[in-house]
Amino acid sequence: MADGYPLIPEELPAQFRAAMRRLAASVAVVAAKGETGPVGMAATSVTSLTIDPPAVLICVNRSTLLHGLLVPTAGLSVNLLSRDQQDVSAAFGGGVPQEERFRIGDWREGFNGLPELAGAQANLSCVIDAMLAYGTHSIVIARVLRATVSDTVTPLIYQDGAYL
């Protein structure tokens, strides 16, 4: 109990990972403008936070290239993927090098110059309000400045290493 918490059993990380793989989640691509071009990553840890002000919560691993661009007041886009955008999810999930990812899918410059994916379920243009480091990740609170939605609801859902 070095930090006031009980010691973690050796098997807990593997058990926790297995438990979380059972949690189905929609897939998004979170993107920002980098000095040499857009940078993005696939994420399943995106959720609405508040309506007033409109905000989302995003968990980002601190080892990602995207994380280095995330500072308060920086812009980012959240693109909620459609069922037919599995190739985009795979590319931004690490299947394609960062410099080639934006060649997959129909990307355009959106609000405030942020990368925006055509055909997504929704596109959110945001600005970072706050960040909190926790373990290997940062919890990012992003205020939504603009939202567009598609006419149909066909989300891309990911669970246990596969798309549903």
- Show the CA angle centred on residue 87, arms to residues 81 and 88, nearest 5°: 45
User: What is the rounded CA–CA span in Å between residue 25 and residue 145?
Assistant: 24
- Predicted pLDDT of residue 2: 60
Q: What is the pLDDT of residues 86-139, one digit of tens each?
A: 999 999 999 999 999 999 999 999 999 999 999 999 999 999 999 999 999 999
Looking up tokens 């807990």 gives 12
Q: Please, are residues 32 and 69 in contact by the beta-carbon 8 Å criterion?
A: yes
Q: What is the pLDDT of residues 145-162, one digit of tens each?
A: 999 999 999 999 999 999
All domains of the chain, ordered by start, with CATH?
Answer: 24-163 (2.30.110.10)
Q: Determine the 3-state secondary structure of 112 from DSSP.
A: helix
Q: Running DSSP on this structure, what letter comes out for residue 92?
A: I
Instruction: Quote the pTM value.
Output: 0.93
